[in-house]
Structure 1
Amino acid sequence: SYSIGFTQTYAAPEVLIFNVERTKAHKLLWACAHVLKDGGMLTPDAKDDRILNNDYQVIFKTLRVSAYGEYLGTARRYYGSKPFPAVVMFLPDREDRYPWEAGYDYIDVAEALSIV
């Protein structure tokens, strides 16, 4: 799942979420929209405690431009020739580890890691 319109509306990156059930992914994107609406920003490579409950923090990683064609087709049509940034949201496991850390045990995000 991913957002469309964050760049146009909030001057923020579009957000992609991998391997999370659609309803939950949309709730996470809605939480991002609320952060942006309130004047916040989504900063790549920094822990962000405004999206999840229970003191868990997400981390956004910048999507490689070379992946836009395969992963952001609808957003590319929406923006046309205008450039737009995009990030991938990564969720921690129950032990607060991220996919690039040893012992991570939550969602399979190997595909997402390969495009950031």
Structure 2
Amino acid sequence: MTDDPFRCRCVLCHDYGDLDEADRLGLTIIENVRKHGWHVVMVPEDDIGPGFAYTIGLSHTHGAPELAMFGLDVHAMHRVLNRLGEKAAGSTLADGQKHPDVVDGHEVALRKVDLRWYRTFFGRAIGFYRRPPFPVLQVAWPDADARFHWEEQARQGHRESQPRLWLPPSEHPVGVWTSEL
């Protein structure tokens, strides 16, 4: 991803002539972005791996990065992403920031997602924006000892519960997040 300013090319800003071909979820995403400013896609945990959730529309509505979160209950992640989405309306969300006021008693850290992960995790966002790059930040949460999953001292289960999407896929530790690559 470049550091060039984001120029929205989403389906709301440009008529691609195919809106009538959108499926039900695609239309729901468009409706929620129009009504609320963004939509949260929730992918529940399954036999393949932990659940995750991500926003679509923050870049369109607020010029803010989209947000992605992994490894918790999808409804809990939905709430966290909505809280951060509300913050995006009045402040800048950026790589390296920590936000102590989003999850009860715990801070979250924001990390810039490497573009090479987009097709693996953010297909609906690509469909909405029609192409990368659109900015995405991973919202990382700490373990019970306030350690993030990239820290050596973090518990092993916690280290595996979230990917490290700021790393290129070729440098990511092998595990559930790389099994589909």
When normalised by structure 2's length, the TM-score is 0.57
Residue 45, structure 1, aligned to residue 96, structure 2: yes
Give the fraction of aligned pairs with identical amino acids, expressed as a percent. Answer: 23
Distance 1:61 1:96 in 2: 17
Q: Which has the larger radius of gyration?
A: 2
Q: Which moved more, 1:26-35 or 1:45-54?
A: 45-54
Greater relative contact order, per chain length (Cα 8 Å cut-off, separation 6+): 1
Residue 64, structure 1, aligned to residue 114, structure 2: yes
In structure 2, the partner of 1:2 is: 54
Q: Does the CA-based 8 Å contact 1:99-1:109 persist in structure 2?
A: yes
Change (3 A) 1:109 1:2: farther
- Residue identity in the other structure for 2:98: K
RMSD: 1.8
Distance 1:67 1:50 in 2: 28
Distance 1:50 1:6 in 2: 19
Distance 2:87 2:54 in 1: 16
Distance 1:44 1:9 in 2: 19
Secondary structure of the structure 2 residue equivalent to 1:60: strand
In structure 2, the partner of 1:11 is: 63
- Compute the displacement of 1:111 (Å): 5.5
Secondary structure of the structure 2 residue equivalent to 1:83: coil
- Compute the displacement of 1:7 (Å): 0.5
- Compute the displacement of 1:14 (Å): 0.7
Which structure 2 segments of 5+ residues have no match? 1-52, 167-181
Distance 2:62 2:56 in 1: 11
In structure 1, the partner of 2:133 is: 83
Per-residue CA deviations over 1:16-71 (Å, capped at 9, x if unaligned) read 1111111101001111111112x1121211222232222x2111111110111111
Change (3 A) 1:48 1:21: same
When normalised by structure 1's length, the TM-score is 0.86
Which structure 1 segments of 5+ residues have no match? none
Moved over 2 A (4+): 105-111
- Name the count of aligned residue pairs: 113
